[in-house]
Amino acid sequence: MAHPLARLGRAVYHPWPMALLAGLSSALVLLGASLLLASVQAQRAESAEMNARGERFLQRIEQLFGQLREGLDQLEAQPLRGCDAAMVEALRQVSFTHRFIYEAAFIGGGQHCSSWPRRSSLGDERPPDIHGTRHQYWLNTSAERDDNLAALVIGRGYFRVSTSRGHLADAVDLAPGSSLLLVAKSDGQVLPLLGPPPAWPPKGWPSAEDQPLLISDEQLIYTMPRPAQNYQLVLLAPRAGLRQRISDSWQPLVPASLLLATLVGTLMFLQVRQRQSLTGNLAGALRRRELRVRYQPIIDLHSRRCVGAEALVRWRRPDGSLTNPDLFIPLAESTGQIRLITDYVLEVVLEQLGDLLRDNPQLYISINLAPCDVTHSRIAAVAARLLQRFEVAPQQIAFEITERGMIDVQAACHTLAELRAQGHKVLIDDFGTGYCSLAYLQALPVDCLKIDKTFVDTLGHDAASSGVAPHIIRMAHALELQVVAEGIELDAQALLLASEGAHSGQGWLFDRPLTAKKFRERVALQTRLAYAVT
């Protein structure tokens, strides 16, 4: 099953398919995200508008109710209690001086008079719809088309004042399809003031006191806070305009989303083309043997003698440009070319330094292995074949593996044990930066730990991290392992590591990576100095 998938991956992994896939995927994500953003913005704007409208309505309604109560107070304060001309004039005076009072009336002792004696809007006498502590309330149906009807009547004692449907409409200015309701707190009775009577109660009713706006799928319900009254004013507005609001908010985001998706597709096209170009160039570089091997000397920290070197691969293009290993090594690992690079480096090392190693049995060259080199048992056979060809002892070729290369510990143990059985030294590189536990370390067939440069840099500077390197050294001694410290740049670091028990080290304090010729000269100079001393 893996082979068809691999073939499919290789078929798809081309600049145009990958760019198209990236562009379409990002377009879907960006358009979806922009639609979600537009929806959130539209809902927030809708809620803010409803809150603002509800607060504005509340102010106008409070003004209207205040005038009605003030008119009642004036009528009760005057001494007249009968339907004579003076009473009618007093009723008219109250109606004329208050904008929202449409009609004022006196009802008592079998008498009934109004500020509009010929066309009273109060209707027949009937029990109030709501009994309050000080006032009673009567409401007419909001379905009446005549604006000159008493839509709301407030009474106290012998007096009644009303406001018309036209006055209410002028006060609140309802949007199409909206309704204004009065809800009794005692029994939940619902009386429509304006707009069509809605289905009641709505889903989620009643809303929390600290959240006056209740949002359902079909409408917004705003409860106007009236803590001192025995009724609530509720404003309902349909959400019919939400889709249009979302569309209006989303439309400006669509071009930007498509532009970003095009940019993502373009970047993917360039990246894949560059990666494929780099992959093809790397394959050509291996065929043309353009990769270069440099040697980082490994120094005994006590005698300061060179005991070996780490082989480092470099890629210098025909145009002279140097490609960073951090770029092409991960690429080679992902494409499987790293095995070819490992074999190439091993062969070049033996070609360049085979005679030097034969003449100096104490020297060794350390070669880095990729995770795939460790999980597949093949490097031991490759090394055996090349060592036999160049007549170099196995103990003079060491192999380094990073902690991340031991994801499959069982496979790693098998490969490393096979290398050690042939006589090779095995080192764990960059120790301390991965996830190799002490239990794994005890089980792994290794000879040496290499302390990462990160911990060497902190020696004497970072109090929190400067103890890591000595701790690794003591742990290695307890496991009878040797220690190599990487990245030594100061003599004080070398002295401190030596005093802690590190065996050897490498870094710019001793030498930068050398060509094979320079490394030979360094070893030759060291040998001449040793003969001169003896």
pLDDT higher than threshold 60 for residue 231: yes
Average pLDDT over residues 356-377: 89
Domain 289-533: what homologous superfamily?
EAL domain (3.20.20.450)
Q: In 3D, which of 24, 2, 1, 20 has the Cα closest to residue 12?
A: 20
pTM confidence score: 0.54
Q: How far apart are CA 12 and CA 58, in angstroms?
A: 63
Helices (H), 78-136: 85-97
pLDDT at 463: 52
Tell which wins on pLDDT, 264 or 483. 483
pLDDT at 146: 58
List pLDDT tens digits, range 55-96.
777 777 778 888 898 999 999 999 988 888 899 999 999 989
Burial of 321-336, coded b for 16+ CB within 10 Å and e otherwise, reads eebeeeebbebbbeee
Encoding tokens for residue 103? 């009609």
Domain-wise residue ranges, the chain: 2-249, 289-533
Inter-residue contact 484 to 504 (CB < 8 Å): yes
Q: How far apart are CA 290 and CA 322, in angstroms?
A: 11
pLDDT at 271: 64
pLDDT band at 519 (very low <50, low <70, confident <90, very high): very high
Tell which wins on pLDDT, 278 or 211. 211
pLDDT band at 8 (very low <50, low <70, confident <90, very high): very low
pLDDT at 93: 92
Minimum mean pLDDT among 11-15, 21-25, 351-355: which range? 11-15
List pLDDT tens digits, range 404-451.
666 677 778 888 889 999 999 999 887 766 555 555 677 778 899 998
Inter-residue contact 343 to 336 (CB < 8 Å): no
pLDDT higher than threshold 90 for residue 333: no
